[in-house]
Amino acid sequence: MSVNLTLLFEIIAFLAFIYTFKRFLWKPIIDALANREKTIADGLAAAAKGQKDLAEAEKRAEEALAEARRKASEIIDSANRRAGEIIEQAHGEAENARRREVERAQAEIEQASRQAREVLRGDFARIAGLAAGKIIEREIDPRQHQALIEEMTENLVNG
């Protein structure tokens, strides 16, 4: 056999192989490659969607956290304001109680002072009456008169 005839059989065999390959194997291989390409594209799209969803979830979580911090700050501020109001109210009530107690004590002092004056007036009137009675009993002599005044003064001072 010659080289040309061998080459011709090889070309025919190769063409038959290509025909058979294209007829029976080409479509399943192309379909498998297309399915693989679609699966990879779907996977990439799902990954991109997952990353987008993750970014949105992180953003929502940050917003929720910021809102929670804001609300907590408002609650703390409100509690601090209320505490200040309660303290001010307690100071006002304490001041009112102090003022009432001072007024009550002043009233007691005024009453005790009036009673002491009344007692002193009564004592003075009694002593003056006694002194007048002794003066009338004795004869009016300047030395005795002076001694009597000193005695009455001493009685007033010593009680």
Quote the distance between the C-alpha of residue 26 and its chain's center: 76
- Residue 141 gets the label, from left (phi > 0), alpha (psi -120 to 50) or beta, of beta
For residue 148, what is the DSSP state?
A: H
Give the model confidence (pLDDT) of 83-93 as tens digits: 999 999 999 98
Q: Residue range 127-140: average pLDDT?
A: 69
70, two tokens: 């804001």
pLDDT value at 1 more than 70:
no
Give the model confidence (pLDDT) of 39-61 as tens digits: 999 999 999 999 999 999 999 99
| 124/132 Cα distance (integer angstroms) | 12
Count of Cβ atoms closer than 10 Å to residue 88 Cβ: 10
CB 132 within 8 A of CB 149: no
Residue 154 has a pLDDT of 78
Give the model confidence (pLDDT) of 78-133 as tens digits: 999 999 999 999 999 899 999 999 999 999 998 988 888 888 777 777 777 777 77
131, two tokens: 């002194």
Name every residue whose Cβ is closer than 8 Å to that of residue 155 and which is 6 or more positions away in sequence.
Answer: 127
- Average pLDDT value over all residues in the chain: 86
Residue 116 has a pLDDT of 85
Instruction: Kindly report the pTM of this predicted structure.
Output: 0.44
Tokens 């799902």 belong to 46
pLDDT value at 72 more than 80:
yes
